[in-house]
Structure 1
C-alpha cells in the first residue's frame, strides 16, 4: 500500500530556542520548544509570567528569530504581516481614524481594491457584533468594542492563523466572558487556526481544544492537555462553564501550573 503522508501542520516548531541579551551574558527565554498545531485547532498557552508565551507567539508571527531550531507556518518560515492576524492585549487602533478607517487601512495593506472595501468593512463589523458602527470614532467606543475592532482588523486579510496575546486581560469580567464566547464561536465557524496566550485557567479551558502548560527558567512546554468539550454552535456556554467536566479540567490545569 502507498504510504499516506501526515497533513502539513499549520504551525510547527522544532527545537526552538530564543535568547536575548549580549553574547557574553545571554538570557534563554525559550529552550528546545517542540510544537505542532493542526489546521483548525484552537491551542492555548498558559504559564507563569516570564515563561516565554509572548515570545513564542512572536516567533510564529515572524517578529522574533530563533537562536536555534526551526519555525514553520504552513511549511514556510514565518514572515511579519504575511498569513497571520495578530491581536494584542491593547487594541492599538489609530485614534485619528474612524472604525471603518482602521479597517479600511488594513484592507488596503492587503491589496483589497477601494471599491470592495465598504462591503468588506460591513462584513467584518457584522462578524464581531458591531454592525453599523463604521463611522464611529475609536475613542467613542468602550474597551470591549475597541477590542472587537482590533479582532475585525486581524480578520481583514482572512488569515488562516490568528495569534492572540492576552486580548481580554484589560476588560471587565462581563465583557471578557462575552468576547470569549464570541471568539470561540467565530473560530469554530470560520475554521481558523488560533494560538492564544492567557494567564486564566478558566479562559484556557473554555477556549482551547488543547492547552499547553509552559514552565519558566527557561521557557518550555511541560504538558499538552486535550480539552474534549463540545465546540459546536449549539453549545450552551454558561452551562458548560458550570459542568463537572469543566471543573475537572480547570482543576487539573491549576495543579499542572503549580507543579510545572
Structure 2
C-alpha cells in the first residue's frame, strides 16, 4: 500500500519507547518502535509473551504514554475513548448493568437515539451468538459469553478504529471461528481500521492484511509481513484456510516468530 503523509495515517508510531519504574530501576517494555497503519488496514501484532504487543496497543488507545518518540492517532495524541473501540483480554463489563444495558450504554455514548437502541442491542447480540440474553445479568454468563458481550459493545458504534487484545483467547473453537468471521467481515465491509494482538500464527494470517512480528528484550519490531489473501467480506474462512497461499504464509510467520 502506498505511504501517504504523516497526518493521513490512522496510527503513526515513530521511535516509540515505553519504560516502567524509577530511573535507577527502569524496565524498558518497548524500544524504538515505528509503525504506521493506514485507513482500512487490518494489522496484527504477534510475538512471544513480554515482547510489548499489549503495551503498544495501550499506547494507541491512550492508556499508556510513550517515554520517547511520537504516538499519533489521526494526527493527534491518543486519548482514551476518542473514536476507538477497545476489546481487552478480559471483558470488563459493568456488573450493575444487564447484558443489554452494557451494549446500550455504548450506543448512548455514540448518539444512537433511545428508541433505536433495543433493536440494535438485539442485532449485536445475534451477531455474537447471544440472542435473547439482553435481560440477563453479566455474572450469570460464562467467561466466554461475557467476552462476546464485550465484543458486541465494542462493535456497537461501528468504530473507525478497533483495538483488540487477544479477544478470542477464552472462547471455544466454534465461537472463535464465528467471531473471527464477524470481525473480518465487519472490517472489510465498513473499511474499519484494526490493530489486533494474538499469539496465533494461523489467526494472524487469517485476519490480517499485514502481520507485524515483535521480539522481546526489549520489545521491538523485527518483521512486517504483507498478507496477500482475499480479504473481501464474501471470502469465506474455510476456503482461505485450505489455500496453498495460506499454508505458505502461516509457515513463514511461524518461522519468523521462533
| RMSD (Å), alpha carbons | 2.0
Distance 1:247 1:158 in 2: 31
Aligned to 2:73: 73
Residue 23 of structure 1: CA displacement?
A: 1.0
Aligned to 2:28: 28
CA contact (8 A) 2:121 2:134 kept: yes
Distance 1:221 1:121 in 2: 39
1:95 partnered with 2:95: yes
1:233 partnered with 2:258: no
Residue 104 of structure 1: CA displacement?
A: 1.8
Matches within 5 A, 1:103-118: 103-118=103-118
The structure-2 alpha-carbon separation of the partners of 1:145 and 1:100, relative to structure 1 and needing over 3 Å to count, comes to: same
Question: 2:23 is paired with a residue of what secondary structure?
Answer: coil
Distance 2:10 2:128 in 1: 24
CA contact (8 A) 2:144 2:170 kept: no
Residue 171 of structure 1: CA displacement?
A: 1.6
The structure-2 alpha-carbon separation of the partners of 1:5 and 1:90, relative to structure 1 and needing over 3 Å to count, comes to: closer
Question: 1:211 is paired with a residue of what secondary structure?
Answer: strand
Residue 131 of structure 1: CA displacement?
A: 4.4
Question: 1:149 is paired with a residue of what secondary structure?
Answer: helix
Question: 2:14 is paired with a residue of what secondary structure?
Answer: strand
1:176-222 CA-to-partner distances (Å, cap 9, x unmatched) read 22221221112112211000000011010001010000011111111
Residue 122 of structure 1: CA displacement?
A: 3.5
Q: Unaligned regions of 5+ residues in structure 1, if any? A: none
Residue 90 of structure 1: CA displacement?
A: 1.7
Matches within 5 A, 1:141-180: 141-180=141-180
User: When the two structures are superposed, what TM-score results if normalisation uses the length of structure 1?
Assistant: 0.90
Distance 1:42 1:207 in 2: 7
Distance 1:29 1:222 in 2: 15
Distance 2:131 2:176 in 1: 20
1:9-53 CA-to-partner distances (Å, cap 9, x unmatched) read 110001111101111111111111110001111000000110000
Aligned to 2:121: 121
1:58 partnered with 2:58: yes
Matched residues, number: 255
Q: Which has the higher mean CA deviation after the structures are superposed, 206-215 or 175-184? A: 175-184
The structure-2 alpha-carbon separation of the partners of 1:5 and 1:31, relative to structure 1 and needing over 3 Å to count, comes to: closer
Question: 2:9 is paired with a residue of what secondary structure?
Answer: coil
Distance 1:201 1:223 in 2: 14
Q: Unaligned regions of 5+ residues in structure 2, if any? A: none
CA contact (8 A) 2:186 2:233 kept: no
